Structure 1
Amino acid sequence: MNTSASVFGNVHLGYIVIETDRFADWRRFGTDAIGMHHDALSRDLMRFRLDETECRFLLRRGPAEDVVTTGWHIDDHASFEQIEARIRVHGVPVVEGTAEEAQLRGVERLLRFPGPKGITQEIYTTPVTSSAPLQMLASGFVTGDSGMGHVALTSTKPAQIRGYFNTVFDARLTDYIDETISGVKLKIRFLRVNERHHSIAVAATRGLPLDPIRTRVQHLNIQAATLDDVAQSYQRVHELGFNMALSVGQHTNDKELSYYAQTPSGFEWEVGWNPIVIDESTWEPSTMQGISIWGHLPVGQTITDKLAQFRDGARSLARPENTVPALSGAGIPDD
């Protein structure tokens, strides 16, 4: 097996597994606010759909209040086996998911292996589609060749996380953003595995080994089909009493227009529209100043919220961050 041939372009973010005890709040948030399709499986399991794929978000009952797994759709068996071989050759354990686990995720078969920040990574080749019509408030969401959105993390070891996703998926650096928030300087790295501007974003505090976020992920992103979908879901989030993290704005790098709501589990949920699609023949990484062209202003944030965030950051000093060293190596130095 040639493990060096690139799998870039054959990898797509396919599903997310969230562990929560707040099922009633999540159902209202997902269906009534964001506008997704909901399927109740049992008292302890439910799913959200965005398209014909049977599962995009699997919620299972548990105490984490966090994302616990990301699932990656691999286009073909050759790329799937190549990724598996890469992980095994580095001595990292690979476990085949059970038939029940595959069924819950709406896939025919999956492999599981450790990922950065304790987020399990899973890969699969064949998603199961549903013939049941979508019942959702949104007109639709953009998935397809770009995958279903992106995951954003905060990290004290961003080079190692970039190294991990380069080793496993041949992720490419799209660009950087330098941002200062409340006097804290951040550097954000944006990584792509296909034509989507980024499927993974990694934010790090510059000069301080602090992670100010309690949860494993800082936010999840899904892409709405229309600008009206963004505006209407923004209004529903407000009307239903869910917390808004950032108001509507437009990003400097991918040009996506979006807002950020706070989920019942505490991490943020970005609903965006119309990000740019990368042209591999012309794209060159660059560094931009500031995350937004306009908007994305904090909503309802108090000094108490800020103090809590700094407390979380201080706690992170005593909490070692696992980047799966066998797959991240020494990391990739910044360009």
Structure 2
Amino acid sequence: MSGFLRPNIDGSVFGAVHLGYVVVQSNRLPDWRRFAADAIGMHVDETGADALRFRLDDRACRFLVQRGPAEDVMALGWQVDDHESFDRIVARVADRGVPITEGTSAEAALRGVERLWRFAGPKGLAQEIFTVAVTTPDPLRMLSSGWVTGDAGMGHVAIISREPESMRGYYHTVFDSRLSDYIDENVSGLKMKIRFLRVNERHHSIAIANLRGVKIDPIRTRVQHINIQSATLDDMLASFQRVKDLGFRMAWSVGQHTNDRELSYYCVTPSGFELEVGWNPIVIGPELESTWEPTTYRGISIWGHSTVGETVLDKFAQFRQALRTVSTPEITVPELIDGGLTNRPHRTRGHGRGEPRLSDNGRSGRTRLG
């Protein structure tokens, strides 16, 4: 358990929530297997003919890819450290009239958890919470030497939203998320603002971007990218080379971010959203937490992160998608959007480039986020 204040002291679940797994639906399972195992370097387990599970550590599952047509992320799984924090989250959801249901034993087994509960999230992303993950003594068979998980969770998720303040309010209400910082960036002549939210010591577990002044979403998938963190710089660079050598699409070359200082690259998964493989971001531990102030950065990258392989067809596809979103409301969960989010003073930095209770039962072109 982390060194942050526990809920029985300050009424917050901050520090007790960690991104535990991601659920993807895809009909491209052979491509996903090759991508995850041979290019990225994850451990892959087959679960029957209709699912793959990817491991990063001793957990039985970090990515679950199930057969289906969506080619998208369907659910985010959040581990909650203790029963009190779990009950607090459940009460926040249920007391506001949002249905929360227990997943089946089969669903829990596939996700590598003992039990899980599910409720609605923004953009149709189901939020699943659990307390006990299933671990396995089976050795990891993977090209990577390791991945950084632990108290920081397995990585982060980045989302483009036409309702960014609503999404920020949702995660503030449910998980007591805190604003780490902002990035302002120009993308193909449009101004993008990105909000970075943390729920534990990881600099951000959720990044939320919007195009300022226009309510459009230029990508098809619910998430823009998922991030995982390599244990070593050599691991990150080796996977970058394998992605290129094996013919998978590279979206952005190796570079370093302005805000969390992570070195990373972005490639395109078989389902179309991006995977960011990074190394060595800032960790906001208890000492930094006590004095942290949100900052606005000008530009996503200090260096690198150049566009790779974007075509005119890619731009047309993004344009068509953006037009579709103009007349289609974005899914929000208004019951879980509390007002009162305060704008703390912040600096600007530039760079020229049913109610269950667990305690009863045990620079131009492609859109890119930090």
The alignment of Structure 1 onto Structure 2 pairs a total of residues equal to 335
- Kindly indicate whether residue 73 of structure 2 is the aligned counterpart of residue 73 of structure 1: no
CA distance in 2, matches of 1:179, 1:325: 28
Q: Which amino acid aligns with 2:331?
A: N
Q: Which segment drifts farther, 298-307 or 154-163? A: 298-307
Q: Which amino acid aligns with 2:43?
A: H
* Corresponding residue SS for 1:314: helix
1:323 Cα deviation from its structure 2 partner? 1.4
CA distance in 1, matches of 2:198, 2:340: 17
1:250 Cα deviation from its structure 2 partner? 0.2
CA distance in 2, matches of 1:70, 1:269: 15
CA distance in 2, matches of 1:152, 1:196: 14
- Kindly indicate whether residue 326 of structure 2 is the aligned counterpart of residue 320 of structure 1: no
Look up the match of 1:42.
Answer: 48
CA distance in 1, matches of 2:212, 2:341: 16
CA distance in 1, matches of 2:217, 2:50: 31
* Corresponding residue SS for 2:289: coil
Look up the match of 1:120.
Answer: 126
CA distance in 1, matches of 2:171, 2:321: 26
Q: Which stretches of structure 1, 4 residues or longer, exceed 2 Å deviation after superposition?
A: 329-335
* Corresponding residue SS for 1:42: coil
Per-residue CA distance 1:24-49 (angstroms, 9 max, x = gap): 10000000000000000111011000
* Corresponding residue SS for 2:180: strand
Q: Which amino acid aligns with 2:170?
A: Y
- Kindly indicate whether residue 151 of structure 2 is the aligned counterpart of residue 151 of structure 1: no
CA distance in 1, matches of 2:299, 2:342: 22
1:303 Cα deviation from its structure 2 partner? 2.2
Q: How does 1:271-290 map to 2 (within 5 A)?
A: 271-278=277-284, 279-290=288-299
Per-residue CA distance 1:79-106 (angstroms, 9 max, x = gap): 0011001100100000001111111111
Q: Which amino acid aligns with 1:186?
A: M
Look up the match of 1:252.
Answer: 258
Q: Which amino acid aligns with 2:293?
A: E
Q: How does 1:298-309 map to 2 (within 5 A)?
A: 298-309=307-318
Look up the match of 1:171.
Answer: 177
1:116 Cα deviation from its structure 2 partner? 0.5
- Kindly indicate whether residue 33 of structure 2 is the aligned counterpart of residue 27 of structure 1: yes
Contact 1:37 1:135 (C-alpha < 8 Å) held by counterparts? yes
Per-residue CA distance 1:265-297 (angstroms, 9 max, x = gap): 000000000000112012110100000000001
- Kindly indicate whether residue 138 of structure 2 is the aligned counterpart of residue 132 of structure 1: yes
1:306 Cα deviation from its structure 2 partner? 1.3
CA distance in 1, matches of 2:208, 2:341: 13
Q: Which amino acid aligns with 1:197?
A: H
Give me the identity figure in percent.
Answer: 65
* Corresponding residue SS for 2:168: helix
Look up the match of 2:91.
Answer: 85
In the alignment, structure 1 segments of 5+ residues that lack a partner are none
* Corresponding residue SS for 1:71: strand
1:307 Cα deviation from its structure 2 partner? 1.9
Contact 1:159 1:334 (C-alpha < 8 Å) held by counterparts? no
* Corresponding residue SS for 1:15: strand
- Aligned counterpart for 1:5 among listed residues 5, 11, 16: 11
Q: Which segment drifts farther, 323-332 or 122-131? A: 323-332
In the alignment, structure 2 segments of 5+ residues that lack a partner are 1-6, 345-370
- Aligned counterpart for 2:216 among listed residues 210, 214, 219: 210
CA distance in 1, matches of 2:205, 2:136: 25
Q: Which amino acid aligns with 2:259?
A: N
* Corresponding residue SS for 2:236: helix
> What's the RMSD between the two structures over aligned residues?
1.4
Contact 1:164 1:331 (C-alpha < 8 Å) held by counterparts? no
1:328 Cα deviation from its structure 2 partner? 1.4
CA distance in 2, matches of 1:297, 1:331: 38
Contact 1:256 1:273 (C-alpha < 8 Å) held by counterparts? yes
1:330 Cα deviation from its structure 2 partner? 4.9
1:174 Cα deviation from its structure 2 partner? 0.3
CA distance in 2, matches of 1:286, 1:70: 27
* Corresponding residue SS for 1:72: strand
